[in-house]
Amino acid sequence: MSEHIVSLKVYFTIFLSLMVGTALTVWAGLQDFPGPLNVIVALTIAVIKATLVVLYFMHVRYSSRLIWVVFAAALFWLGILFALTFGDYWTRTWL
């Protein structure tokens, strides 16, 4: 599998998207949304921005399956870290 060279057009498009995302997250942070919506909006924008960086700036979209598996493993173990530790704190007051 030979190296894929990402075009300049893609790089600049992603950059502009990240700038729009940043502006959007600042705007959303200043709005008073009901309930926990502020956090949800902020995290959604951050996840979209991070996904764009991973896929295009870090070339994962054009990388081998092995890189995909390694990255997926990172997210999986991060999920375990959050789920099990939160499970502990969540249930401490039950007894």
Partner 1 sequence: MAAAVEHEVSHPALQHHFENLEQQREAGTLGMWVFLVTEIMFFGGMFFAYTLYRSKFPDAFASASNHLSLPLGAVNTVVLILSSLTMALAVYCAQVGKRRNLILFLVMTIVLGSAFLGIKAVEYRDKYVDSLIPGRLVPGRPFNPVVAAHGDTDPHKLHLMGSATVKHVEMFYWIYFAMTGMHAIHMIIGVGLLLVLLYFSWRGRYGPEYHNPVEILGLYWHFVDIIWIFLFPLLYLLGRHMLHT
Is 70 an interacting residue with respect to partner 1 (CB under 8 A)? yes
Torsion angle defined by CA atoms of residues 80, 45, 23 and 49, in that order, rounded to the nearest 10 degrees: 70
29 near 38, Cβ under 8 Å? yes
**By CB under 8 A, what part of segment 24-43 binds partner 1?**
25-26, 28-33, 38-39, 42-43
The residues, any chain, with a CB within 8 Å of residue 57's CB and separated by 6 or more, are 11, 14
- The site for partner 1 (CB under 8 A) is made up of 1-3, 5-6, 8, 11-12, 15, 18-19, 22, 25-26, 28-33, 38-39, 42-43, 45-46, 49-50, 53-54, 57-59, 63-64, 66-67, 70-71, 73-75, 77-78, 81-82, 85-86, 89
